[in-house]
A and B are shown apart, each in its own frame.
Chain A
């Protein structure tokens, strides 16, 4: 008997290498043809499931994954703010308690670029500032994107170590 796609509901096993040439024509709403996948709708997920469901591209989640996907820093700690802005000042993404972060990131990035030019450099990859209790880090995340993070020193010690401040 031939199994029908309908009988499997939202759960389907898809051959890993199948349909490779067809992928280019996939629309963003179509499922990824990689492995066993489930369409994730956070509105209908059970409350106990929600924290473990990592949002993925197109809303699909791989069921083969041995361990759950890592959550972002802001999901781990609500005291950390993250902002992503474009170089022309548009807010792409913002989370966390510091509402000032997107504007400050855009300003710091713009002036830091001028400082770089003054000192004979082409660009400024990152600026990291540490205060007694908190940290502000602004960095390039592509030609038109700026990522910034602000939060307590203890929670951002990895950022300080990476930048050579700690």
Chain B
């Protein structure tokens, strides 16, 4: 419940479409995404995101922040205690506001989700 409420804060940033939380091993821990992204599909996405982050980590770049640029949208990633906070947003999002809010939310996410 706390996690859901915290993820909801991110939607106050203009351009944010939704967010989800991924464990380092790829499990989907929490989500606040639009209805068109069903849970099964999002679990697969979460595992793929985790694989990319693992690939980076084993080669010496332990990701703390990351951006996937899709042209019309972005997936912003922030590391936290239990995994990674992933924020889906459109291309016009204010990255500075997103960075600040996402860091605050990531820091506040509880250790147990």
Q: A: which residues have CB within 8 A of B? A: 98, 100-101, 104, 107-108, 111-112, 114-116, 118-132, 134-136, 150, 163-165
Contacts and interface: CB of A to CB of B under 8 A. Distances in A.
Contacts of A163: 67, 69
B59 A165 contact: no
A104 B55 contact: yes
Contacts, number: 105
Q: Report, nearest first, the 3 A-B pairs whose CB atoms are least far apart.
A: A121-B70, A164-B95, A118-B45
A127 B95 contact: no
B112 interface: no
Contacts of B70: 116, 119, 121-125
28 contacts: A98-B59, A100-B59, A101-B59, A104-B55, A108-B52, A116-B68, A118-B41, A118-B42, A118-B45, A121-B70, A121-B71, A122-B71, A123-B71, A124-B68, A125-B69, A126-B68, A127-B67, A128-B67, A128-B69, A129-B63, A129-B66, A130-B63, A131-B63, A132-B62, A136-B56, A136-B63, A150-B61, A165-B67
A120 B89 CA distance: 12
B73 interface: yes
B68 A127 contact: yes
Q: Is the interface of B mostly helix, strand, loop or mixed?
A: mixed
B75 interface: yes
Interface in B1-50: 36-37, 41-42, 44-45, 48-49
A163 to B, nearest CB: 5
Which of B45, B49, B64, B70 has the largest count of A CB atoms less than 10 A from its CB?
B70
Given A119-B45, A119-B75, A134 B69 contact: no
Nearest to B50: A111
A131 B61 contact: yes
B31 to A, nearest CB: 12
